[in-house]
Amino acid sequence: MQIWVDADAFPAAIRDIVYRAAMSRQVSTTLVANQFIRTPPSPFLNSVVVSSGADMADDYIAEKAAAGDLVITQDIPLAARVIENGAHVVNPHGQELTRNNIGQQLSLRNFMSDLRSAGTVTGGPAAYSDKDKQTFANALDRFITKHKKPA
């Protein structure tokens, strides 16, 4: 099992959660972004810098993520791509995206995009809360516990 993090849109508030989980549970974790992201020294953490440009990190993750891997992203189209390849997805709010709910998430994303384009919705997402961090940490721990094979 490998964890892939879409670090271009990754709340800084959960970086430490991912770092601690990767090191304590000994799970190889790769952060992918179009700029360097410093990680603590650990054989289980690394970062990959991709070229600047739309969806470069997404394309890299979609190409590398294999069946059984975990992708942490809030990018719904990326989630759909990796789910199609058999990877699992958890967003930074701790919600697991699956084959059963990704279609609904894509529809909602497109609907909200249309509302924003029309000027009907002008606000952004709510601030990332302590409850969001805890929910994410719990979801990550559950996933690793369920899917990590013994060494």
Question: Tens digit of pLDDT for each residue in 129-140?
Answer: 999 999 999 999
Q: What predicted TM-score, i.e. pTM, was given to this entire model?
A: 0.85
3-state class of 110 per DSSP?
helix
pLDDT digits (tens, 9 = 90+) for 83-112: 999 999 999 999 999 988 776 776 665 655
Contact (CB, 8 A) for 102 and 79 = yes
CATH topology of domain 2-98+126-147: Rossmann fold (3.40.50)
Residue 48 has a pLDDT of 96
Does the pLDDT value for residue 52 go beyond 70?
yes
Residue 61 has a pLDDT of 97
- Give me the mean pLDDT over the 133-151 stretch: 92
Residue 110 has a pLDDT of 61
CA distance 66 to 32: 15
- 108 Ramachandran zone, left/alpha/beta (phi>0; psi -120 to 50): alpha
DSSP H helices in 118-151: 130-147
Domain boundaries, the chain: 2-98+126-147
Task: Name the token pair of 138.
Answer: 């719990």
- For the chain, the average pLDDT equals 88
Residue 151 has a pLDDT of 65
Share of the chain above pLDDT 90, in %: 68
- Give me the mean pLDDT over the 7-30 stretch: 92
Band the pLDDT of 8: cuts 50, 70, 90. Answer: confident
3-state class of 59 per DSSP?
helix
